[in-house]
């Protein structure tokens, strides 16, 4: 396939990379983003959904705290549709140091984080499930922010401004020319096909994988991978983000997001960002800590557990750091022309979802400086698509939109209220036959039944799209064909999509199989093995 | 009043035990939290479809299957009890106008809704023409607005199915509008089944499908051909199409399962049993190793019921008869009976692959040959309580395709064991 050329190549399809993509597109650059998996496939799609107000870092990491509150205000303005304005609470439970409350208030004041103390009785009125033994409570402007939606909005906006996004494209090597990086050779991981992308400037925004990319330019960049596990519970046990008021630790945040709430998280250094397990004791720890904030937490139904890896930049030798929580949560920009004498190459890593826009801004400021051009950043002013009206997302939004088509369209996923036409559009728009890509786009199969019903339907619809005769009205779904790689027959593609999804879901529920979620898994076994016999499909 | 037997649970195991006891003249009380597994399954009687490989002849496969699994529920009942239960089941359903085909000697191979080929021993006559053992030509007919049936995927998979004798299936599919219901965006299988009860619906559908039919084709439809009188609806449709017609089970709610439930429920009432659904058992009364009765909760108030015997057929983990807690404990929900088959504390309960043989999947109750639950010393825990169905340990029903057969055999055996005792 033809080689490409562009002004700026962005490596990494997480929040940082997408932020850079949009920032660059708004500044009028030609820009291409490559990602080895799907967008949000890495850390961004595996976070709890918290838009920080900065309170969490106000005592220990004031730089982070200031960045958070500043970005919190900007994102509320430009990305309202991706945010549910839940508000946040910090509470002192019987397990926490009561004196920390004053340190917390002082820290918040010093960092400009609005924090208002309310009485425990008031806090319990707002959040009746909270531990009645709390001694102090503080309200901060935390919110819930949907990382998938934010990424799609950034990608969509950049694409309308001419940017290109290549998912499932892995960087094989960086192109170099006279001591400068000049783009990359990328491989389509589905077809095996390689192509070169020539670029005036290359931005390494690959998060926990940034060290691997920098090494391709012969540079030593140490990024520690800090694994954190999160568990989604079947209900919104709380309606506000609830934080333990203490120094950041394990299992001390519960975030209500969409129809669930997510408890997080842990922080364990792992040697390889692609290889890690979820240990039963980590799961038990989340339940124990959850119980301290919300008594009865353990009896609630746990839907799915996953882990993400934080990128934590480390300027020193990797063996010097024992506890990854001691590494600052602020981000790091490595200007390789200055740092290493390698031109046209920048690494941006560390940081957190809340500050993704600011990370993109400083990155593109540095790129402009290195290129000797002056093009100001506008991402703090120009709203993302669907956020122009400045209206926050609300919990009933999907139901409200579903009700409009109640009598015209089938409901394919009852848990997440996904109508058939939306599913068909997503298959075609994303040109994918991977049901997990659709899960990230529409939340298909993310509800209580974990795909028990909708995945069979989605498989049938996927097959129908793949076999539909070409017509302008129904564009159908064709794999991007390429010479030498025959596409799978539609039935094999559908069967493999089904089986892959079942396996992917199993990975997320396996550590949580007890109580009602085990019953649900058994019902799904009943359906997929007992009734459909999916194990014996032709593959 | 004191009943002869309280049956807890109204899935296939509870229904089998209850009807058999009531027909033998016992005063039977059925107590159930809700309807059971009949509404979830395929409405076929799958007896034994897989050991290590596909099983074509279940009865003949029994000795080898049980030799490798000496604790399996079938080892407690034996093949004769299964034969007697199957004969009783065939008789009972035929008597109520919903005859079954097949036997324990050979498995039929029926298409599933996704187009896999599944072994079943006994199937409703309305499904029997779907047997693919000798290959043939099939036309799968689906409805445009029915989201739980995808004929193109189904036929595509059937056309690529590998059958035991190397037989091949030639399969194709069409989509049609359900006459008079085409405007329903999200057509419910129940509404469709009710429509099939109407002759004018069947006539209009046949008029649409018949011209598209090729000589020699059998016609596969989703399992919605009638709710009230499926046999008559199916016979009428075959006549109008001039071709064999067969039903293919869909996702829950299972219409063929509901037909079985309805008929066994009718048999219960005809034999004088009392049936209370919506009555979860919240407490069991046990004194000196005997159960004297149970207390039910529910919407209005709690009641205590007395009986000489109890058949516990509350279902396995899916139905809540067996409960696993987050701390790793596993308990039987009504009596707190000992649960066996748990993997050792440090060994994995579930393996990494979805289709792996997970150690935890075989947990349940250990029973003696009278199906009385046993303690760790092998002694019956409560002398007048018997257990049947998915509660029993050491089976993997959805994997073995054995759940319906286990429910029939153990429900029947539990009833007989009570009938063998003096009143």
Q: What is the CA radius of gyration of chain B?
A: 22
**Three-state DSSP state, A136:** strand
Instruction: Give the span between the Cα atoms of A418 and A440, in whole angstroms.
Output: 13
Helix (H), strand (E) at residue A404: helix A397-404
| pLDDT of amino acid B268 | 98
**Lookup result for tokens 């599919």:** B173
Residue A280 Cα distances to A114, A291, B347, angstroms: 38, 17, 12
**pLDDT, tens digit, for every residue of B83-119?**
999 999 999 999 999 999 999 999 999 999 999 999 9
Comparing CA positions, the residue from B348, B388, B409 lying closest to residue B66 is: B409
| pLDDT of amino acid B261 | 98
Chain centroid to Cα B257, Å, comes to 7
Which residues have a Cβ under 8 Å from the Cβ of A217 and sit 6 or more positions away? A174, A176, A181, A336, A342, A345
Asked if residues A216 and A71 have their Cβ atoms less than 8 Å apart, the reply is no
**Residue A407 to chain B, least CA–CA distance (Å):** 6
| pLDDT of amino acid A407 | 83
Token couple for A324: 């990854």
Asked if residues B402 and A530 have their Cβ atoms less than 8 Å apart, the reply is no
* Pairing label, strands A223-233, A268-270: antiparallel
| pLDDT of amino acid A387 | 97
pTM listed for this prediction:
0.92
Residue B62 Cα distances to A331, B77, B242, B394, B404, angstroms: 65, 12, 39, 15, 15
**Residue B326 to chain A, least CA–CA distance (Å):** 5
Helix axis angle for A490-509 and A454-467, nearest 10°, is 150
Token couple for A394: 């609300």
Whether the per-residue pLDDT at B392 is higher than 60: the answer is: yes
Other CB atoms within 10 A of residue A283 CB: 18
Query: For residues B152-189, b (16+ Cβ closer than 10 Å) or e, as one string?
Result: bbbbbbbbbbebeeeeebebbbbbbebbebeebbbbeb
Token couple for A435: 């049901």
User: B422 falls in which pLDDT band (50, 70, 90)?
Assistant: confident
Range B120-130 average pLDDT: 98
Query: Which residues in chain A have their CB less than 8 angstroms from residue B54's CB?
Result: 536
Residue A54 Cα distances to A89, A98, A139, angstroms: 12, 20, 12
**pLDDT, tens digit, for every residue of B189-216?**
999 999 999 999 999 999 999 999 999 9
- Residue A24: CA count within 13 A, CB half-sphere: 32
Q: ω before A265 within 30° of 0 (cis)? A: yes
| pLDDT of amino acid A106 | 97
Could B42 and A538 be called an inter-chain contact, meaning their C-beta atoms sit closer than 8 Å? no
**Residue A102 to chain B, least CA–CA distance (Å):** 37
Instruction: Give the span between the Cα atoms of B151 and B163, in whole angstroms.
Output: 20
* Pairing label, strands A241-244, A223-233: unpaired
**Picking from A231-235, A271-275, B241-245, B358-362, which range would have the lowest pLDDT averaged per residue?**
A271-275
What letter would DSSP give residue B157? H
Could you say which of A522, A529, A537 has the minimum Cβ distance to residue B399? A529
Token couple for B15: 């229904």
**Interface membership of A281 toward B (CB under 8 Å):** no
Sign of CA dihedral A473, A477, A482, A483: negative
Query: Which residues in chain B have their CB less than 8 angstroms from residue A502's CB?
Result: 354
**Lookup result for tokens 């557990």:** A305
Report how far apart the first and last C-alpha atoms of chain A are (Å, whole number).
29
Asked if residues A92 and A100 have their Cβ atoms less than 8 Å apart, the reply is yes
pLDDT along chain A (539 residues), means of 10: 91 98 98 96 92 96 95 98 98 96 97 98 98 98 96 97 96 95 95 95 97 96 93 95 95 94 92 88 94 94 93 66 56 92 95 95 96 97 97 93 87 93 92 90 88 95 84 48 60 95 93 93 94 93
Q: What is the CA radius of gyration of chain A?
A: 23
Which residues have a Cβ under 8 Å from the Cβ of B296 and sit 6 or more positions away? B31, B276, B279, B280, B281, B282, B302, B303, B305
Asked if residues A72 and A143 have their Cβ atoms less than 8 Å apart, the reply is yes
Please state whether A445 falls in left (phi above 0), alpha (psi between -120 and 50) or beta. left
Instruction: Give the span between the Cα atoms of B373 and B337, in whole angstroms.
Output: 7
Could you say which of A503, A522, A537 has the minimum Cβ distance to residue B116? A537
Asked if residues B256 and A531 have their Cβ atoms less than 8 Å apart, the reply is no
Cα–Cα–Cα angle for B121, B126, B131, nearest 5°? 50
| pLDDT of amino acid B134 | 83
**Residue B59 to chain A, least CA–CA distance (Å):** 20
**pLDDT, tens digit, for every residue of B8-46?**
999 999 999 999 999 999 999 999 999 999 999 999 999
- Residue A268's DSSP bridge partners are A227
Interfacial A residues in 459-498 facing B (CB < 8 Å): 459-461, 463-464, 467, 489-492, 494-495, 498
Whether the per-residue pLDDT at B388 is higher than 80: the answer is: yes
ipTM of the complex: 0.96
CB-neighbour burial class of residue A337 (10 A; exposed 0-12, middle 13-18, buried 19+)? middle
Asked if residues A12 and A207 have their Cβ atoms less than 8 Å apart, the reply is yes
| pLDDT of amino acid A485 | 47
Asked if residues B338 and B368 have their Cβ atoms less than 8 Å apart, the reply is no
What size, in residues, is chain A?
A: 539
Interfacial B residues in 217-256 facing A (CB < 8 Å): 249, 251-252
Asked if residues A398 and A429 have their Cβ atoms less than 8 Å apart, the reply is no
**Interface membership of B352 toward A (CB under 8 Å):** yes
Which residues have a Cβ under 8 Å from the Cβ of A358 and sit 6 or more positions away? A67, A70, A71, A74, A331
Helices (H), A113-186: 120-126, 147-160
**Residue B372 to chain A, least CA–CA distance (Å):** 25
Instruction: Give the span between the Cα atoms of B336 and B316, in whole angstroms.
Output: 14
Interfacial A residues in 369-408 facing B (CB < 8 Å): 405-408
CB-neighbour burial class of residue B134 (10 A; exposed 0-12, middle 13-18, buried 19+)? exposed
Could you say which of A464, A506, A518 has the minimum Cβ distance to residue B150? A464
């Amino acid at each position: 396939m033809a080689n490409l050329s562009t002004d700026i190549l962005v490596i990494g399809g997480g929040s940082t990379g997408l932020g850079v993509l949009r920032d660059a597109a708004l500044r009028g650059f030609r820009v291409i983003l490559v990602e080895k998996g799907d967008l949000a496939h890495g850390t961004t799609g595996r976070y709890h959904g918290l838009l920080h107000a900065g309170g969490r870092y106000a005592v220990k990491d004031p730089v982070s705290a200031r960045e958070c509150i500043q970005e919190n205000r900007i994102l509320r303005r430009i990305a309202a549709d991706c945010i549910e304005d839940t508000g946040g609470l910090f509470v002192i439970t019987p397990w926490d140091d009561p004196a920390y409350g004053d340190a917390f208030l002082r820290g918040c004041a010093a960092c400009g984080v609005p924090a208002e103390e309310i009485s425990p009785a008031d806090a319990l009125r707002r959040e009746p499930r909270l531990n009645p033994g709390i001694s102090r409570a503080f309200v901060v402007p935390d919110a819930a922010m949907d990382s998938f939606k934010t990424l799609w909005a950034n990608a969509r906006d950049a694409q309308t401004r001419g940017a290109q996004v290549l998912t499932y494209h892995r960087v094989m090597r960086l192109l170099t020319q006279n001591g400068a990086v000049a783009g990359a050779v990328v491989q389509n991981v589905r077809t095996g096909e390689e192509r070169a992308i020539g670029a005036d400037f290359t931005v390494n925004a690959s998060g926990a994988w940034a060290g691997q990319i920098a090494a391709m330019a012969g540079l030593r960049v140490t990024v520690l991978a800090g694994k954190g596990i999160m568990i989604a519970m079947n209900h919104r046990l709380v309606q506000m983000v609830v934080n333990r008021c203490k120094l950041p630790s394990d299992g001390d945040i519960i975030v209500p997001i969409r129809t669930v709430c997510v408890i997080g998280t842990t922080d364990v250094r792992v040697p390889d960002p692609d290889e890690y397990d979820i240990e039963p004791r980590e799961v038990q720890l989340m339940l124990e800590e959850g119980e301290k904030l919300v008594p009865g937490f353990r009896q609630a139904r746990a839907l799915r557990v996953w882990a993400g890896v934080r990128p934590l930049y480390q300027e020193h030798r990797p063996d010097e750091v024992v506890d990854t929580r001691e590494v600052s949560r602020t981000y790091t920009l490595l200007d390789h022309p200055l740092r290493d004498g390698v031109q046209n190459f920048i690494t941006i890593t560390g940081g957190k979802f809340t500050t993704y826009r600011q990370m993109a801004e400083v990155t593109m400021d540095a790129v402009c400086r290195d290129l000797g051009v002056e093009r100001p950043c506008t991402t703090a002013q120009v709203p993302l698509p669907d956020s122009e009206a400045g209206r926050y997302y609300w919990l009933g939004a999907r139901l409200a939109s579903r009700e409009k088509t109640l009598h015209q369209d089938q409901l394919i996923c009852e848990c997440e209220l996904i109508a058939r036409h939306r599913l068909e559009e997503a298959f075609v728009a994303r040109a994918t036959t991977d049901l997990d890509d659709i899960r990230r786009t529409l939340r298909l199969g993310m509800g209580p039944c974990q795909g028990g019903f909708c995945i069979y339907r989605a498989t049938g619809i996927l097959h129908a799209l793949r076999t539909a005769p070409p017509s302008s009205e129904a564009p159908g779904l064709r794999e991007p064909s390429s010479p030498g790689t025959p596409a799978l027959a539609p039935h094999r593609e559908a069967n493999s999509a089904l089986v892959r999804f079942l396996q992917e879901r199993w990975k997320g529920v396996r550590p949580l199989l007890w109580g009602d979620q085990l019953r649900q898994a058994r019902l799904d076994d009943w359906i997929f093995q007992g009734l459909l016999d999916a194990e014996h499909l032709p593959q | 009043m004191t009943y002869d037997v309280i049956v807890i649970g109204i899935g296939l195991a509870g229904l089998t035990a209850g009807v058999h006891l009531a027909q033998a003249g016992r005063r039977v009380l059925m107590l159930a939290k809700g309807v059971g597994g009949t509404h979830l399954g395929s409405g076929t009687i799958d007896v034994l479809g897989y050991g290590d490989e596909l099983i074509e002849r279940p009865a003949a496969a029994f000795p080898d299957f049980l030799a490798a699994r000496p604790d399996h529920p079938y080892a407690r009942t034996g093949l004769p009890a299964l034969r007697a239960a199957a004969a009783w089941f065939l008789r009972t359903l035929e008597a109520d106008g919903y005859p079954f085909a097949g036997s324990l000697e050979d498995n039929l191979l029926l298409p599933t809704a996704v187009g896999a080929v599944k072994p079943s021993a006994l199937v409703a006559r309305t499904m029997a023409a779907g047997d693919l053992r000798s290959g043939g030509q099939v036309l799968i007919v689906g409805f445009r607005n029915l989201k739980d049936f995808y004929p193109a995927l189904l036929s595509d998979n059937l056309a690529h199915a590998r059958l035991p004798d190397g037989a091949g299936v030639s399969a194709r599919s069409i989509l049609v509008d359900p006459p008079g219901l085409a405007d329903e965006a999200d057509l419910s299988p129940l509404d469709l089944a009710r429509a099939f009860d109407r002759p004018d619906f069947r006539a209009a559908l046949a008029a649409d499908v018949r011209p598209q039919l090729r000589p020699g084709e059998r016609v596969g439809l989703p399992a919605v051909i009638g709710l009230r009188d499926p046999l008559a609806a199916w016979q009428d449709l075959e006549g109008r199409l001039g071709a064999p017609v067969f039903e293919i089970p869909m996702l829950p709610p299972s219409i063929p399962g509901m037909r079985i439930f309805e008929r066994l429920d009718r048999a219960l009432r005809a034999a004088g049993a009392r049936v209370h659904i919506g009555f979860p058992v919240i407490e069991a009364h046990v004194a000196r190793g005997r159960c004297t009765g149970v207390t039910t909760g529910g919407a209005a108030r709690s009641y205590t019921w007395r009986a000489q015997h109890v058949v516990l057929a509350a279902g396995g983990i899916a139905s809540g008869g067996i409960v696993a807690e987050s701390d790793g404990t596993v308990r039987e929900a009504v009596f707190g009976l000992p649960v066996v088959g748990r993997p050792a504390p440090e060994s994995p309960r579930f393996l990494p692959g979805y289709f792996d043989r997970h150690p935890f999947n075989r947990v349940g109750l250990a029973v003696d040959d009278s199906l009385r639950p046993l303690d760790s010393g092998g002694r019956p825990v409560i002398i007048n309580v018997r257990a049947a169905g998915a509660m029993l340990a050491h089976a993997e029903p959805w994997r073995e395709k054995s759940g319906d057969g286990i429910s029939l055999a153990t429900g029947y055996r539990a009833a007989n064991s009570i009938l063998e005792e003096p009143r």
